[in-house]
Structure 1
Amino acid sequence: MYSTILVPTDGSETATRAVDYAVDVADTYDATVHALSVVDAGDLGLRTPPDVDVEELRRPLRERAQSAVDAVVRAGEAADVPVVAAVRVGVVHRTILDYAEENEVDLVVMGTHGRSGLSRALLGSVTEQVVRESSAPVLTVAPDGRREQDA
C-alpha cells in the first residue's frame, strides 16, 4: 500500500511524535521513510542589515534542520526501517509538496502544533496547507500523539 513515506520534521516534540507514526507505518508496509527538514527562507536574514553576516545567521538554522533529520535516521535504524534524509531551503509548505511530488511519496505523516483561533489565522498552518494541496494522503498527528485526521 505504501512504499514511500514522507515525514517533514523540525525536531519539535510534535514532529517527533509524527516520526514515530511514520516509522511504524513504514515498518508495517516495508516502506522507506523520507525525512525532510525545511529551513524557512523567511528565517534566512533576507531583511538583515548589510553589515550582518547572513551565513552566520543561516548556520544554526541548517544545523538544527540537519539534527532533526538525523534523529529520524536514528529512529529508522532502531526499527530497521530505511530512511532517506534531506534538508532543503524554501517556503516550508511548498518545499514539502514539491519534495513529495519529486519523490512520488505515497503518504505524508506530519505533526500539528495545535494552534487555533487568531494565532492560526495569522500564522497559517503548514500542515493545513499541505493537507489541502497534497496529492498524497496526509496523516496528521496532534501534539498529544493522537492521529488528528486522515486526508
Structure 2
Amino acid sequence: MYDAILVPTDGSEAALDAAEHAFSHGERYDATVHVLAVLETSESAAIVGRGNQKLETLHEQGSEATRRIVDEARERDVDVVGAVEFGNPDRAILGYAAANDVDLVVMSTHGRSGVSRFLRGSVTEQVIRDGDVPVLAVQR
C-alpha cells in the first residue's frame, strides 16, 4: 500500500510522535521513511550582515532534528532517508513528496499559532488542503 512515507520534522516532541506513526507504517508496509526538515529563510536571511551565519545555524538545527529521527528509524530497522531543505514549509513538503513519489505524509498538527495561524493556517492544514497525497495528522 505504501512504498514511501514522509515525516516532516521541526525537532519538536510532536514531530517525534508523528515519526513513531511513520515508523509503524514503514514497518508494516516495508516502506522507506523519508525525514524532512524544512528551514524557513524569510526571517533569517533578512538579518543584515548575519544572514549566512544564521542560515548555517538553521541548517545545523534542521540536520540535528532530521538525524534524531533517522537514528531512531535505523534502530528499529526501518529503511530511512533524511533531508534538509530551505523554503516555505508546506510548499517544500509537497514538492519533496512529489519528487520522491511519497504515498503518505505523516505529520503533527502543532505549529503556527496566533495571527500567523489565523491568516495562513497551520502547515499541516496547508499540506492537507493543497496536496494530492494522503496525510495522517497526528495530534499530540
Give the one of 80, 87, 100 matched to 1:103.
100
Q: What pairs up with 1:112-131 in 2 under 5 angstroms?
A: 112-113=109-110, 120-122=117-119, 124-131=121-128
Change (3 A) 1:116 1:67: closer
Amino acid at match of 1:36: L
Contact 2:37 2:65 in 1 (8 A): yes
For 1:55 and 1:116, locate their aligned partners in 2 and report how far apart those are by CA, in whole Å.
27
User: What TM-score, normalized by structure 1, do the two folds share?
Assistant: 0.86
In the alignment, what sits opposite 2:19?
19
Gaps of 5+ in 1: 144-151
Secondary structure at the counterpart of residue 7 of structure 1: strand
Provide the rounded CA distance (Å) in 2 between the counterparts of 1:127 and 1:36: 14
What 5-or-longer segments of structure 2 have no aligned partner?
Answer: none
Counterparts of 1:90 and 1:117, CA distance in 2: 21
Kindly indicate whether the alpha-carbon contact (under 8 Å) linking 2:111 and 2:123 is maintained by their aligned counterparts in 1: no
Structure showing greater Rg: 1
Q: Is residue 55 of structure 2 the alignment partner of residue 58 of structure 1?
A: yes
For residues 106-148 of structure 1, give each alpha carbon's deviation from its aligned partner in whole angstroms, at most 9, with x where no partner exists.
Answer: 00000011767756304521110001111110000112xxxxx
Distance 2:43 2:73 in 1: 29
Alignment coverage as a number of residue pairs? 140
Q: 1:29-85: CA deviations, max 9, x gaps?
A: 100000000111213322x23xx2311111221111001110111111111001111
Contact 2:70 2:81 in 1 (8 A): yes
Q: Residue 67 of structure 1 corresponds to which residue in structure 2?
A: 64
Q: CA RMSD in A?
A: 1.7
Q: TM-score when scaled to structure 2?
A: 0.92
Identity among equivalent pairs (%): 47
Displaced runs of 4 or more, over 3 A = 114-119
Tell me which moved more, 13-22 or 117-126: 117-126
CA contact (8 A) 1:114 1:142 kept: no
